[in-house]
Chains A and B, each alone.
Chain A
Amino acid sequence: NAGVMQNPRHLVRRRGQEARLRCSPMKGHSHVYWYRQLPEEGLKFMVYLQKENIIDESGMPKERFSAEFPKEGPSILRIQQVVRGDSAAYFCASSRGTGTKNIQYFGAGTRLSVL
């Protein structure tokens, strides 16, 4: 039973480059959530997606950030023109459904460093 898979584990980008973070949910899970963890802080919600749909993006910065969860393939969190303040750990979680089925399981995260 593979858990939530995220890659890469570590990503280094220079300012102005693009960062693409991938997340494959657990088998049987169709709900994906992205969270960001800044140094010395807790996790902050970014976006919630189901297959091909964005359900809640209230935590996403208005510019440079986007997310998708296509019908086939992993969910992608994309950060364009990265800045140093984007350096953080980005975690993906997945769940089987909503309500009582919304038990979220987390991946190991992608640690983004912007030089």
Chain B
Amino acid sequence: GDSVTQMEGPVTLSEEAFLTINCTYTATGYPSLFWYVQYPGEGLQLLLKATKADDKGSNKGFEATYRKETTSFHLEKGSVQVSDSAVYFCALLNAGGTSYGKLTFGQGTILTVHP
């Protein structure tokens, strides 16, 4: 079945540091890939997405490129802020086969940014 693996956390950075959160996936066909962010006590917010190979999703300074050859969708940001502290989830959507429309999530990576 489909699966998503994220780098283990927690990740602790100083403000203005460079961020990378690794995400790799296993899926049949051509899934769409997503990054969601969850702030404490809140629901998930869609951060960015990519629907086909070599697509780059970007939003709020975050970027991720859909790499089919390495089955990866790593999240990056050049300069993190304290307000970026949250849990980040990588997810895939595989509409083929019996997966219908369900999202498959990674386990989440906790990011803490210190001033």
Chain B 89-115 interface residues, beta-carbon cutoff 8 Å to A = 89, 93, 95, 98, 100-108
A81 to chain B, nearest CB (A): 26
Query: What is the interface residue range for chain A against chain B?
Result: 20 to 34
Given A42-B106, A98-B95: A31 in contact with B101 (beta carbons within 8 A): yes
Query: What is the interface residue range for chain B against chain A?
Result: 20 to 34
Q: Mark B25-51, 1 if CB is under 8 A from A, else 0.
A: 000000010001000001111100101
A-B contact pairs, 8 of them (CB 8 A): A48-B100, A56-B101, A58-B98, A95-B101, A102-B32, A104-B103, A105-B46, A106-B43
Contacts of B89 in A (CB 8 A): 42-43
Contacts of B105 in A (CB 8 A): 35, 42-44
A70 proximal to B (CB < 8 A): no
- Please list the residues of chain B having a beta carbon within 8 angstroms of any beta carbon in chain A: 32, 36, 42-46, 49, 51, 89, 93, 95, 98, 100-108
Bound together, the chains give a CA A105 to CA B42 distance in angstroms of 13
Bound together, the chains give a CA A103 to CA B101 distance in angstroms of 9
Contacts of A1 in B (CB 8 A): none
A33 proximal to B (CB < 8 A): yes
- Starting from the known contacts A99-B95, A106-B44, 5 additional A-B residue pairs (CB-CB under 8 Å) come to A4-B43, A31-B101, A35-B103, A59-B102, A91-B44
Ranked 6 nearest A-B pairs via Cβ: A45-B102, A42-B105, A108-B43, A106-B44, A106-B43, A42-B107
A56 to chain B, nearest CB (A): 5
In the complex, the answer to whether B42 meets A108 with C-beta atoms within 8 Å is yes
